Amino acid sequence: MSNARFRLAGCGFLLALGLLAPWFIYPVFLMNALCFALFACAFNLLLGYTGLLSFGHAAFFGTAAYTTGYLAKVMGISTGLAILAGVAAALLLGAIFGGLSIRRQGIYFAMITLALAQLIFFVYLQAPFTGGEDGLQAIPRGKLLWVIKLENDRTLYYVVFAIFLIGFLLIYRTIHSPFGQVLKAIRENEARAVSLGYDVNKYKLMAFVLSAGLAGLAGSTNAIVFTFVTLTDVDWHTSGDVVLMTLLGGMGSIFGPVVGAFSIVTLESKLSDKVGSLVTVIIGAIFVICVLLFRRGIVGEIQGLYRRVVGSRA
Amino acid sequence: MLMSEIFGVPIAALFGQLVLGLVNGCFYAMLSLGLAIIFGMLNIINFAHGALYMMGAIFTWFLLDSWNISWWWALLLAPLAVGIFGVVVERLLLKRLYKVDPLYGLLLTFGLALMIEGLFLHKYGSSGLPYDIPEVFQGALNLGFMFLPKYRAIVVGVTLVVCFTTWFVIERTQLGAYLRAGTENPPLVQAFGINVPVMITLTYAIGVALAGLAGVLAAPTIQVSPLMGSNLIIVVFAVVVIGGMGSILGSILTGLGLGLIEGLTKVFYSQASNTVVFMIMVLVLLVRPAGLFGREK
């Protein structure tokens, strides 16, 4: 009972932190971190809860961002609809990617998603609607629901925070639903799940599409925040970043990717002025250290520590 | 008059692109061969393969530029250096991952690739390093229907020899038999008194040395730069998915074949030349999910 109350207090604290943060920290930085946190949570639904390592999630993030940017800028469609259209595009692409990549397991799955994402990258490099190397610049932030003006950073922050919460709660609900339990069963022992009569591929595909859609939501929101979309958003480095955020924070834990995303976004923004091109080296080193020393990630290790302390007292 | 055009493309240009495609196919073949050997023994997909290929190329550039030694020495020394680096990586890092999910091997080598690429980028920048084709190989052979640049002929020749030797060693010798047995059942091979850990280390070293060798061969034909490996490795992953990693000969043939197809695409529809391998991958996944030479596990 006290445990549940403790958790509730923790969530309340985090919510208050989220609401107050833009008055102390630069809102654009926070929004960027929130977008990547949502992106990482969506990715974690696949890696942490279904055991599928996708190395091509930037394709969904970027596709949604381009769709939203193009609709808002060139077609003049309102911001909310443009974001929804971005999510729809990501869902569609997710269905195609998912349908192809779940035909192979394990390590092949990772390679296929990476290769498909690279295909998308080259298509966007040449396609007329993406602006090629220049990307889409000066996307209007516009208004939400015809009234809320999003030009102000703090106003936009609260919208982004709300979007993050919706995505986060959706993922939370999914993980704790019967559907989520089946996903975990597939992660633990796929053959067993098959023998229990579950259509494993159907579940994998649904998880994949859902994850892609939420990654798209993050991408579309990010496009509105920064008012531009470039090829970086579909680059394989971005796919790698989201893998690292999830790994560092702790895959398979609900808050892990959020912690990981905030850590990496902070690190990248602080370090890039100081060490320049060496940022990649540091990111790579964190990867290696995570894999060798703490595979459970920050949140996973803290939980482990907490359990050991509480366990030894009892 | 001889027919000198096919579908409006001059024959000389067509064959020129085909040879260029074949040269690229050689690099695909050598890299996917290395990946397949490593995967067979270590159950790890070596994401750092592209970075090690780049290391081979830059090391060659360094040797020729600073030490002024002959290209033949580089052909020997660069793969050796990359191989030694591979021994260090396997002993220091990969060794710790054999008991966990193979996905961690992919993640670790991905991090490693970022580190290597970042360090070289910091040292040399992203613009290409100047590199000349060694004097011996300058010029071209006149084959009547086309001019074949000598160097391209050498690349194809060296690749075929190396690939065939690797195939022969693995499929037809005692050592190869140990290796194949080790792939199937390491504890049993160990019980027969064969030092499996050393075998694993050497396998990784040889796999990455092949990447280094591909780098040496590639150096004169493309821009040598720290970024040359990362885009290539993704294409090679697609090649591996298309071929399946079960068969040595399969990886070689898939690599060469896809290089040729890419060359043809450059002639007839150049916009698709950097996506055609991925599209073929999609097609193969639809028709034959296990890959052309793969066995469904």
Average of per-residue pLDDT values in chain A: 89
Residue with more model confidence, A37 or A305: A37
Interatomic CA distance for residues B218 and B22, integer angstroms: 12
CA distance B220 to chain A (A): 25
CATH number at residue B239: 1.10.3470
CA distance B238 to chain A (A): 6
Using a CB-CB cut-off of 8 Å, the residues of chain A touching B110 are: 240, 243, 284, 287
pLDDT confidence bin for A181, thresholds 50/70/90: very high
Interatomic CA distance for residues B176 and A116, integer angstroms: 35
pLDDT confidence bin for B272, thresholds 50/70/90: confident
pLDDT confidence bin for B295, thresholds 50/70/90: low
Total residue length of chain A: 314
Nearest-CB residue to A119 (from B108, B271, B275): B275
Interatomic CA distance for residues B267 and B247, integer angstroms: 31
- Give pLDDT, residue A312: 64
B11-42 and B174-184 helices cross at what angle (nearest 10)? 60
Q: Does B270 touch chain A (CB under 8 A)?
A: no
- Give pLDDT, residue A171: 94
Beta bridge partners of B142: B147
- Give pLDDT, residue B66: 81
Contact A34, A160 (CB under 8 A): yes
pLDDT at A71 over 70: yes
Q: How do the domains of chain A map onto residue ranges?
A: 26-235
CB-CB neighbours of A27 under 10 Å: 20
CB contact under 8 A, B113 and A103: no
pLDDT at A1 over 50: no
Q: Which chain A residue lies closest to B44 (C-alpha atoms)?
A: A107
Question: Is B294 contained in some domain?
Answer: no
CB contact under 8 A, A291 and B102: no
Contact A234, A121 (CB under 8 A): yes
Beta bridge partners of B140: B149
Question: Is B276 contained in some domain?
Answer: yes
Contact A247, A294 (CB under 8 A): no
pLDDT in tens, B71-82: 888 889 999 999
Give the 3-state secondary structure of residue B6. Answer: strand
Contact A225, A69 (CB under 8 A): no
Q: How many domains does chain B have?
A: 1
pLDDT in tens, B247-258: 888 889 999 999
Contact A265, A32 (CB under 8 A): yes
Query: Is B27 exposed, middle or buried, given 0-12, 13-18 or 19+ CB atoms closer than 10 A?
Result: buried
Percent of chain B's residues with pLDDT above 90: 43
pTM for the full model?
0.91
CA distance B155 to chain A (A): 26
Q: Does B111 touch chain A (CB under 8 A)?
A: yes
pLDDT at A286 over 60: yes
Interatomic CA distance for residues A236 and B232, integer angstroms: 12
pLDDT in tens, A84-93: 999 999 999 9
Identify which of A220, A223, A187, A192 has the alpha carbon closest to the alpha carbon of residue A204: A187
Q: Domain range for residue B72?
A: 5-287
pLDDT in tens, B94-115: 989 888 888 899 999 999 999 9
Q: Which chain A residue lies closest to B43 (C-alpha atoms)?
A: A107
Identify which of A37, A46, A54, A110 has the alpha carbon closest to the alpha carbon of residue A256: A37
H helices then E strands: how many in chain B?
Answer: 11, 4
pLDDT at B2 over 70: no
Question: Is B295 contained in some domain?
Answer: no
Identify which of B258, B28, B272, B227 has the alpha carbon closest to the alpha carbon of residue A122: B272
CB contact under 8 A, A281 and B115: yes
Q: Does B232 touch chain A (CB under 8 A)?
A: no
CB contact under 8 A, A112 and B234: no
CB contact under 8 A, B275 and A53: no
Contact A49, A207 (CB under 8 A): yes
Give the 3-state secondary structure of residue B245. Answer: coil
CA distance A133 to chain B (A): 16
CA distance B173 to chain A (A): 29
Residue with tokens 């150049």: B270
B174: left (phi over 0), alpha (psi -120 to 50) or beta: alpha
Give the 3-state secondary structure of residue B193. Answer: coil
